[in-house]
Structure 1
Amino acid sequence: MAPLQGLRDFRRLKELLGILILYGFDDLLQWMGLGRQAALINRLLRRKLPADVQRLPPQARARMAMEEMGPTFVKLGQILATRVDLLPPEWITELEKLQSRVAAVPFSELLPGLEASLGRSVAEVFSEVEEHPLGSASMAQVHRARLKSGERVVLKIRRPGIRALIEADMRLLEQVAAVAESQSPDWRRFQPVALLREFQRSLARELDFAVEARAAERIANNLATVDYMVIPKVYWDYTCEDLNVQEAMNGTQASDLAELDRLGVDRLRLARRGAAVVWKMMLEDGFFHADPHPGNFIILPDERIALIDFGMVGRLSAQRRDQLVRLVRGILLQEPEVTTHVLVEWSAGYVVQREALNSEVAAFMERFDGVPLDQLDIAGVLQDVAAILRHHAVSLPADIALIVKACLTLEGFGRSLAPNFQLMEEAAPLLKKTLRGRYAPQKLARAMRIRALDMVEKVYNPNTMATQSHLIGSAPPINPMDMERWIGRLERAHARQTTAQLITAMYVVGGLLSLLPQGPHMVGMNVLGIVFIMSASVYGFWLWLSQWWTLRGRD
């Protein structure tokens, strides 16, 4: 934890405390042990909130305070708005209103930093730069420009002094997180220090525009086969940590419904295409645009879709994607134990009352009994799952929380374009494909081998079994002798599976050979084919007999 540094940090602390007091959060400062400082600052405050603002609910006042505190806290609020597992719905709804748009910085103030990033004068690179910004946010400004070579581009330029301000704010937030974790058992359960580290990583990525540019290129490569999608080209000769130069996309934002109607755009097709692309990124690629709101989709004149702004991206490992598929499968097939097991995996080692969790999951799943996959309200499902985990004082993994947020945003995007839009219609084919792949023979055989190796590892390292003790109701440590028997059974099962595949192949080959016109025939079939079919039958009978004898001996 970094200590406060100098007079500047203390001035910033005083400023932030003043804003919190102004918006009525004195009790929070008392809880943090800053009551005396808060009382002093309160006496010095000359500004009072209007009565109508004072009567607003706490979540509205918190949102207004964050906006006044500046970019670090606006971003913190936007990150918290993705954590439906931590905050109740009314707080999520309010924090989603946080705006990072601020008054524009004069271009003359941006110019020294821009030329430092380019390593040369602006006139050497661009034939023109529009000084009036296309957009002005808390961390950057966007300006249109034209390269000397004639290409139209947009410049995303980092605001001067923003890094120093954010670093000072992060030092203060580290102190707050440490106090929360040490003084409150309730807060400790949600790991505020770990959450802050996650926020720091997210903010560091967002401050580095080269990271955003690499994300854009990675998604462009993943979507190369989708002919109706366009990702802006990155101009790497000029892009760096504090400057992103990308191809300009000239079209209509998907949020401009009136213009889309005037152009005759099929809004439902647009919504379905946008959803299909985001689902592909999530379920197939494991790397996705995490903020798919209408403003980030631009409809080009040829009705292709340009996707912009890759400051917020998410990553889903193969394990996470498998967990999501199992979650959906458990809900559709009404298997609460399967769904509960996924949620326990998401609990990240915290004690979970498994029986109570299973009962709550079973009750929630009854609402989806008989619902087909393409009509499943996945956004609602994930919100309910987050509420269940919140009730058990467990937070979602950060990547799953981002998926929940992206699904909610995507559903809102689709419904704004076409009220009859169904989010899962586009996900259903991909989920079915993933399910088929999950239960393919090759994948099952590989999973069996991996599990057998895991069991062998546990035989030789029994202490690893202690990691299972965090689950109430979980099985007791397993005897190594039992493990050896299970390994033997797995190996025999794998051998039987291989033999069954061989027998099937012999039947297929025998059937094909029996149709050959050359060579000796019997009862209208080629003798060689008959030999293969009979061999396969004898081999299969022997396999069945040996299995029956083994089971009889075990009885």
Structure 2
Amino acid sequence: MITGIHNCFRLIGIARTLARHDALWPARRIKALRFPVGVIRLLWGRRRPGREGERLASALTALGPSFIKLGQALSVRADLVGDQVAQDLSQLQDSLPPFPTEKARASIEAELEAPISELFASFEEKPVAAASIAQVHFAVTPDGHDVAVKVLRPNVEDRFEHDIALFRWLAEQGERFVPGLRRLRPVAVVETFKEWVETEMDLRLEGAAASELAGLSRDDEGFRVVAVDWQRTAQRVLTTERVRGLRIDDITGLTAAGFDVNDLLERSARIFFLQVFRDGFFHADMHPGNMFVDGEGNLCPVDFGIMGRVDKRTRIFLADLLVGFLQRDYKTVAQVHFDFGIVPPHKSKEAFTQAIRAVGEPVLDKPLNEISVGRLLAQLFKVTEDFDMETQPDLLLLQKTMLVAEGVGRKLNPSVNMWTMAQPLIEDWMLANRGPEARIRDAVGETIDALQRLPGTLRRAEDVLAMLSDIDPAVVARFSEQARKGGSGPNRVWQSGVRNGWGPAMIAVLAVLFLLAFAS
């Protein structure tokens, strides 16, 4: 009760900020809120120019770090906010005024338990970047290595925890009182957001993500992940190798430096494909400010706070989906949705195929260089309501990353489609993972796994049989007689067995049957 009252007062303050930025339109779409929203608009509302998404982005920026991050999370949910709003929110800049450098120094010294003078030969006073969660300073280690030092904002954990609790409460109330929202899983959106933020606020996890990506891509030519300085990394401090290079969208600079932008585009498409399909682990915040080209022409990503994972089953689904769309094989696209259980089996396959065609044709009918697979997936997710498809948060994150990658690709070369570059790679991957050899390999692997488990299963069965041998035969005979008579069914047999003290025998018999069935 007290939590509800407290949250209601907070909501009034939030609503006032939204009204001042003319961004109350999301609440106006809910019938139950139209009257209170009208009152708030009369009290504090102002007319502002710009699109709905632009005004909402401005309001979220004014509300602070947690709301900026929430806006970024919503930018992957075109099914919730619409295409244009999602696009506007994707432009939301995660940048805030820096906090004082002396606080950054104090935090570093507290976390690493050493004075700055021992940790670094030099430490630049002015931060090079300041975001909602952390800011970055350049420094030089005592052994002469140039590094970037990322430091969390003071008390940022408490503020985010407070705000996320409010978001979760709002999502729960929305699912409770607005049934139509349940399909969109707003609570799941908040949970996904919470996972993103928790990962970003433990900089050891970000360092681990960078290290994992570096290990997976160590043999990928033309791609290099910065090294982590683990001796100068802790929960609130991350120190990595400093990247010296040009932003991926600095076409003038890249051309002047002698780099082939078409080669960079082709390599970007290949690397993205490898991360998603080969590794199932991809950089999910790949905007131009997070990708550089170093002096040797290597693609060098930074900022590993948001990473995506795709399991093998989902990768196979995605491969079938993308190739099916690119070949305009809508029956296959529809079939994989049913095969993977994304569309319930009672729905009409023919009707779903027709809906898929209606989504695909307007996008695929454009010139090749204008086709957007990210936009195609966004349109696909819009058919979820008619066919009872549940929202897939992991796919939404991937779809958002695809849109960002496409945007970078078009800046490098507007006349080329990066997905046509990746299509042969996807087809080869499908052959390797879904062809006859792959099926034989999977079957052999499953057989080997079963054989490896068999000795342990047999040992457990022997232990149970040994226990059975100690049971009085008269008790077993009494159990058998009771079971033969039947009575009122299995429940009566069980209850009678427990009363007569031979419940352990029943458990043992059932255990043996289970183990033997498992072993077979």
Question: Does TM-score exceed 0.5, indicating one fold?
Answer: yes
Secondary structure of residue in 2 paired with 1:252: strand
Between stretches 142-151 and 373-382, larger displacement belongs to 373-382
Decide whether aligned partners of structure 1 residues 88 and 317 sit closer, same or farther in structure 2, where only a CA change above 3 A counts: same
- CA–CA distance in structure 1, aligned partners of residues 380 and 37 of structure 2: 41
- 1:247 matched to 2:241? The reply is yes
Q: How does 1:345-364 map to 2 (within 5 A)?
A: 345=340, 347=342, 352=347, 354-364=349-359
- 1:416 matched to 2:411? The reply is yes
Match of 1:235 in 2: 229
Aligned-residue CA RMSD in angstroms?
3.4
User: Is residue 344–residue 387 contact of structure 2 (8 Å, CA) maintained in 1?
Assistant: no
User: Is residue 21–residue 42 contact of structure 1 (8 Å, CA) maintained in 2?
Assistant: no
Q: What letter corresponds to residue 400 of structure 1 in structure 2?
A: L
Match of 1:28 in 2: 27
- 1:179 matched to 2:211? The reply is no
Secondary structure of residue in 1 paired with 2:194: helix
Q: What letter corresponds to residue 60 of structure 1 in structure 2?
A: E
Decide whether aligned partners of structure 1 residues 271 and 335 sit closer, same or farther in structure 2, where only a CA change above 3 A counts: closer
Residue 443 of structure 1, CA deviation: 2.9
Secondary structure of residue in 2 paired with 1:210: helix
Match of 1:4 in 2: 3
Q: How does 1:147-226 map to 2 (within 5 A)?
A: 147-226=141-220
- 1:399 matched to 2:394? The reply is yes
Residue by residue, what CA displacement relative to the aligned partner does 1:44-91 show, whole Å, maximum 9, x if unpaired?
x6xx64x4x1x5443222211111111111111111111233332111
- CA–CA distance in structure 2, aligned partners of residues 308 and 133 of structure 1: 16
Q: How does 1:36-435 map to 2 (within 5 A)?
A: 49=46, 51=47, 53=48, 55-332=49-326, 334-344=328-338, 345=340, 347=342, 352=347, 354-365=349-360, 377-389=372-384, 392=387, 394-435=389-430
Secondary structure of residue in 2 paired with 1:227: coil
Give the TM-score, by structure 2 length.
0.77
- Count of residues in Structure 1 that have an aligned counterpart in Structure 2: 444
Match of 2:436 in 1: 441
Secondary structure of residue in 1 paired with 2:239: strand
User: Is residue 85–residue 401 contact of structure 1 (8 Å, CA) maintained in 2?
Assistant: no
Decide whether aligned partners of structure 1 residues 14 and 109 sit closer, same or farther in structure 2, where only a CA change above 3 A counts: farther
Give the TM-score, by structure 1 length.
0.72
- CA–CA distance in structure 2, aligned partners of residues 26 and 228 of structure 1: 46
Between stretches 324-333 and 82-91, larger displacement belongs to 324-333
Residue 350 of structure 1, CA deviation: 9.9
Match of 1:535 in 2: none
- CA–CA distance in structure 2, aligned partners of residues 293 and 74 of structure 1: 16
- CA–CA distance in structure 1, aligned partners of residues 366 and 59 of structure 2: 43
Secondary structure of residue in 1 paired with 2:403: helix
Tell which structure's C-alpha radius of gyration is larger.
1
Decide whether aligned partners of structure 1 residues 148 and 5 sit closer, same or farther in structure 2, where only a CA change above 3 A counts: farther
- CA–CA distance in structure 2, aligned partners of residues 366 and 13 of structure 1: 43
Secondary structure of residue in 1 paired with 2:76: coil
- CA–CA distance in structure 2, aligned partners of residues 412 and 58 of structure 1: 22
Q: How does 1:504-515 map to 2 (within 5 A)?
A: none
Residue 377 of structure 1, CA deviation: 4.8
Q: What letter corresponds to residue 281 of structure 1 in structure 2?
A: Q
Residue by residue, what CA displacement relative to the aligned partner does 1:12-66 show, whole Å, maximum 9, x if unpaired?
55532321333342882886779779958975x6xx64x4x1x544322221111
- 1:15 matched to 2:13? The reply is yes
Residue 446 of structure 1, CA deviation: 6.1
* Unpaired runs of at least 5, structure 1: 453-555
User: Is residue 254–residue 297 contact of structure 1 (8 Å, CA) maintained in 2?
Assistant: yes
Residue 319 of structure 1, CA deviation: 0.2
Residue 254 of structure 1, CA deviation: 1.6
- CA–CA distance in structure 2, aligned partners of residues 63 and 431 of structure 1: 36
- CA–CA distance in structure 2, aligned partners of residues 137 and 213 of structure 1: 18
Q: What letter corresponds to residue 377 of structure 2 in structure 1?
A: L
User: Is residue 185–residue 391 contact of structure 2 (8 Å, CA) maintained in 1?
Assistant: no
User: Is residue 53–residue 84 contact of structure 2 (8 Å, CA) maintained in 1?
Assistant: yes
Residue 225 of structure 1, CA deviation: 0.6
User: Is residue 82–residue 402 contact of structure 1 (8 Å, CA) maintained in 2?
Assistant: yes
User: Is residue 323–residue 423 contact of structure 2 (8 Å, CA) maintained in 1?
Assistant: no
Secondary structure of residue in 1 paired with 2:78: coil
Q: What letter corresponds to residue 236 of structure 2 in structure 1?
A: D
User: Is residue 375–residue 425 contact of structure 1 (8 Å, CA) maintained in 2?
Assistant: no
Secondary structure of residue in 2 paired with 1:229: coil
Q: What letter corresponds to residue 76 of structure 2 in structure 1?
A: T
